[in-house]
């Protein structure tokens, strides 16, 4: 593998990690919002009010969690390579310019429907330069991948993947190509798989009480078990695929078709009346 190929592979991994971290943070923000709604509907009180504290200190536990989650999203967006975080996509064609104009108009419509001014949305996105968003809406500025993730968290949190993919394709073709090579159609599946894996740990409160050394041992055992299981299942699926391929070569049809044809022949013989 050449140095360029290795660099591209590392870059793709950083983008993948950045995207997945942001999606996990958005999911957590949704869960916090749902908890806040539920506790409000039930009239539940998480902690007894302390009237001796100033009103500004009476922040709910869920509110603090939400703030931490949003910080995690910002951290996830910052935790990648500087060129990914700050870099702007080059406008390579008139087609891309037209797409940016259309995307900018769409973003403006979304902002106005949400009832946000340019200043309010810029502050929500943590943009120091308030003119950036205006330039984006006018189709004269591109979007970094980090800012696309911030936008998704703000205006498309319920269904972020389509927004991220569409916006990245319009504004950052280089990153889009990496995502496309990775397999954008598998993003939702990959996200859910990672979520299930994370939840295995979260469901076991005892893991939080382990010493650092004890946790490292569990982690190493888990890693070895996962790699062994992965190797076993990969071999199993490869053998199954080889068997199917050989059957297709022998019969000239897929195993499912062969099975269907056999069933049809049996049914035909069963319904045939004796002479």
Other Cβ atoms less than 10 A from the Cβ of 16: the count is: 15
Residues 29 and 71 in one domain: yes
pLDDT recorded at residue 29: 65
Q: Please tell me whether the overall predicted TM-score, pTM, comes out greater than 0.85 for this model.
A: no
pLDDT at 59 over 70: no
Residues 243 and 156 in one domain: no
- Give pLDDT tens digits for 218-250: 999 999 999 999 999 999 999 999 999 888 888
Residues 215 and 174 in one domain: no
The candidate with the shortest Cα–Cα distance to 262, out of 275, 247, 273, is 247
Domain extent for 147: 3-45+59-90+142-192
pLDDT recorded at residue 243: 92
Half-sphere exposure of 229 (CA within 13 A, CB side): 6
Report for 40-54, 108-122, 211-225: range of highest mean pLDDT: 211-225
Q: Distance between terminal CA atoms of the chain?
A: 71
The dihedral over CA atoms of 43, 44, 49, 54, expressed in degrees to the nearest 10, equals -70
pLDDT at 78 over 60: no
- Give pLDDT tens digits for 196-226: 888 888 788 888 889 999 999 999 999 999 9
pLDDT recorded at residue 267: 54
d(CA 20, CA 129): 27
Number of domains in the chain: 2
d(CA 219, CA 210): 11
Is 91 buried (19+), middle (13-18) or exposed (0-12) by CB count in 10 A?
A: middle
Residues 164 and 247 in one domain: no
Residue 96 lies in a domain: no
């Amino acid at each position: 593998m050449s140095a360029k190929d290795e660099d591209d592979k590392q870059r793709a991994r950083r983008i993948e990690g950045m995207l997945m971290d942001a999606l996990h943070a958005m999911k957590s923000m949704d869960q916090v919002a749902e908890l806040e709604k539920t506790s409000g509907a039930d009239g539940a009180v998480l902690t007894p009010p302390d009237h001796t504290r100033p009103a500004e200190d009476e922040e709910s536990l869920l509110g603090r969690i939400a703030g931490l989650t949003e910080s995690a999203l910002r951290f996830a967006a910052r935790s990648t390579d500087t060129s990914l975080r700050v870099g702007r996509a080059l406008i390579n064609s008139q087609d891309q310019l037209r797409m940016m104009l259309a995307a900018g108009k769409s973003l403006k419509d979304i902002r106005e429907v949400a009832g946000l001014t340019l200043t309010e949305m810029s502050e929500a996105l943590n943009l120091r330069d308030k003119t950036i968003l205006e330039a984006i809406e006018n189709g004269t500025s591109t979007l970094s991948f980090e800012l696309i993730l911030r936008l998704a968290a703000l205006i498309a949190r319920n269904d972020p993947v389509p927004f991220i993919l569409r916006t990245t394709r319009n504004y950052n073709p280089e990153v889009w190509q990496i995502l496309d090579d990775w397999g954008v159609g598998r993003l939702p599946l990959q996200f859910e798989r990672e979520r299930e894996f994370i939840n295995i740990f979260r469901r076991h409160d005892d893991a939080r009480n382990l010493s650092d050394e004890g946790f490292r041992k569990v982690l190493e055992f888990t890693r070895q078990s996962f790699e062994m299981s992965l190797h076993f299942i990969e071999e199993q699926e490869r053998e199954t695929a080889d068997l199917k391929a050989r059957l297709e070569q022998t019969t000239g049809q897929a195993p499912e078709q062969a099975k269907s044809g056999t069933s049809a022949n049996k049914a035909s013989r069963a319904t045939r009346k004796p002479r």
